[in-house]
């Protein structure tokens, strides 16, 4: 039985379903003691429909989760967070939300790159060149070393459509893993990648993530891991089939797994 999940979305992002309270009720039904909401970062001055909520929804997000924290405080510990990208132009905003206690924590979801004009200029789900691999790596390490991110969500996201774990992939992976070790940031074993099933990637059939090649390296370096549901509906909290597959993956690769972040997230 898992004690915690820190990767939970809400319907505000435009591609999730269910009410906030429904996620908590599912968590309670599956015996979780800690539940972190980390919806896709709603950002002032930036709109990305169906990928993240408009910033106008931020106050409702904060008030709803804080109200539920109080309602269920005797049954489960609830945290309010963001899954945010390594967008340097928003680092001041991130830091302000954390320093002021508006957000309890953030997890890094390194989906894309943004320039100073708030324009997305690269997406990492379909990398086609070594330069994009290194851009992914550089942005990830910048985020990890900032101290603002407590989990690296689906760290091997950049491998989603890469068939061969070549020397560039190995170098980038090693540097990201070393950064996570240095800054005590667990690497997430993401259940959404498991739930979507195996996909054809070149000649290989595998999960987009977690990937064997990346986590073999994680095991070699003895880096910490954590399981994340990446829940986009309440029923994805406590998905027993995905959890079982994750446990088997952990055993196969002899991974070191932490079960909660209550010593890292502090109010």
Q: Which pLDDT value is given to residue 267?
A: 43
Alpha helices in 54-121 (DSSP H): 58-71, 91-99
Q: Which pLDDT value is given to residue 261?
A: 85
pLDDT tens digits, residue range 233-258?
Answer: 999 998 999 999 999 999 999 999 99
| C-beta separation of 75 from 62 below 8 A | no
Q: Which pLDDT value is given to residue 2?
A: 83
What are the residues whose beta carbons fall under 8 Å from the beta carbon of 131, sequence distance 6 or more? none
Task: Give the mean model confidence (pLDDT) for residues 194-220.
Answer: 96
Q: Which pLDDT value is given to residue 262?
A: 64
Output 57 or 261, whichever has higher pLDDT: 57
pLDDT tens digits, residue range 116-171?
Answer: 999 999 999 999 999 999 999 999 999 999 999 999 999 999 999 999 999 999 99
pLDDT tens digits, residue range 2-44?
Answer: 899 999 999 999 999 999 999 999 999 999 999 999 999 999 9
Mean pLDDT of the chain: 96
Q: At residue 264, does pLDDT exceed 80?
A: no
CA atoms within 13 A on the CB side of 102: 13
Q: Is pTM beyond 0.85 here?
A: yes
User: Which domains, from first to last, does the chain contain?
Assistant: 4-257 (3.20.20.140)
Residue 37 CA to its chain's centroid (Å): 11
Tokens 């898992």 sit at which residue? 2
Q: How many other C-beta atoms are found inside a 10 Å radius of the C-beta of residue 178?
A: 14
Task: Classify strands 187-190 and 112-114 as parallel, antiparallel or unpaired.
Answer: unpaired
Give the span between the Cα atoms of 7 and 229, in whole angstroms. 6
| C-beta separation of 5 from 28 below 8 A | no
């Amino acid at each position: 039985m898992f004690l915690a999940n820190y990767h939970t979305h809400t319907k505000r992002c435009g591609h999730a379903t269910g009410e906030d309270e429904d996620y908590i009720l599912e968590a309670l039904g599956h015996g979780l003691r800690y539940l972190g909401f980390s919806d896709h970062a709603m950002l002032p001055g930036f709109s990305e429909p169906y990928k993240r909520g408009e910033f106008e929804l931020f106050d409702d997000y904060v008030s709803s989760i804080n109200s539920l924290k109080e309602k269920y405080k005797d049954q489960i510990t609830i945290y309010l967070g963001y899954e945010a990208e390594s967008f340097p132009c928003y680092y001041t905003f991130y830091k302000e939300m954390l320093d002021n206690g508006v957000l309890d924590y953030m997890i890094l979801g390194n989906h894309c790159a943004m320039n100073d004009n708030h324009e997305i200029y690269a997406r990492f789900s379909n990398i086609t060149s070594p330069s994009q691999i290194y851009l992914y790596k550089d942005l990830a390490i910048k985020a990890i070393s900032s101290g603002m991110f407590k989990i690296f969500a689906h760290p091997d996201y950049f491998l989603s459509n890469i068939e061969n774990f070549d020397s560039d992939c190995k170098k980038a992976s090693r540097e990201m893993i070393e950064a996570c070790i240095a800054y005590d940031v667990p690497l997430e074993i993401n259940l959404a990648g498991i739930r979507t099933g195996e996909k054809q990637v070149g000649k290989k059939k595998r999960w987009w993530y977690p990937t064997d090649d990346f986590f073999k390296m994680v095991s070699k370096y003895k880096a910490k891991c954590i399981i994340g549901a990446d829940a986009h509906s309440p029923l994805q909290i406590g998905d027993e089939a995905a959890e079982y597959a994750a446990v088997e993956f952990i055993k196969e690769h002899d991974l070191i797994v932490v079960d909660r972040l209550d010593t890292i997230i502090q109010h």
